[in-house]
Amino acid sequence: MKRLTFNRKLFALPYGVLSALFVIVPLLVLLYFAFVDGDGKFTFENFADIFSKGTIKVLFYSFGVALLTTVICLVIAYPLAMILANSRFNKSALLVMMFILPMWINSLLRMYALKNLFIELLQIDTGFFMVLCGMVYDFFPFMLLPIYTIFVSMDKSLIEASYDLGASPIKTFFRVKVPLSMPGVISGIIMVFMPTVSTFAISDILGKPENIMFGNLINYWFTKNHWNLGSAYAFFLLILIGITMIISSKLTGGKAKATTGGIL
User: Can residue 114 be called a binding residue for other proteins (CB under 8 A)?
Assistant: yes
User: Can residue 48 be called a binding residue for other proteins (CB under 8 A)?
Assistant: no
Residue of 225, 176, 218, 181 whose CA lies nearest to 197: 218
Q: Contacting other proteins (CB under 8 A), which of 35, 137, 148, 151? A: 137
Residues binding other proteins: what is the number (CB under 8 A)? Answer: 85
Comparison of 8 and 250: residue with beta carbon closer to other proteins: 8
Comparison of 47 and 200: residue with beta carbon closer to other proteins: 200
Comparison of 116 and 168: residue with beta carbon closer to other proteins: 116
Taking the complex as a whole, the smallest distance from the CB of residue 49 to other proteins amounts, in Å, to 16
User: Can residue 251 be called a binding residue for other proteins (CB under 8 A)?
Assistant: no
User: How many H helices and E strands in the chain?
Assistant: 14, 0
| Rg for the chain, CA atoms, rounded | 22
Q: Return the residues of window 205-244 that contact other proteins according to CB under 8 A.
A: 205, 215, 218-219, 222, 227, 230-231, 234-235, 237-238, 241
Q: What is the DSSP letter of 213?
A: -
Taking the complex as a whole, the smallest distance from the CB of residue 167 to other proteins amounts, in Å, to 19
Largest Cα separation within the chain, whole Å, is 72
70-75: Cβ within 8 A, 24+ apart: 70/143, 70/189, 70/192, 70/193, 70/196, 72/132, 72/136, 73/136, 73/139, 73/140, 73/142, 73/143, 73/144, 73/188, 73/192, 74/143, 74/185, 74/188, 74/189
Per-residue x/- track, 55-94, other proteins (CB under 8 A): ---------------------x--xx--xx-x-xxx----
Taking the complex as a whole, the smallest distance from the CB of residue 184 to other proteins amounts, in Å, to 17
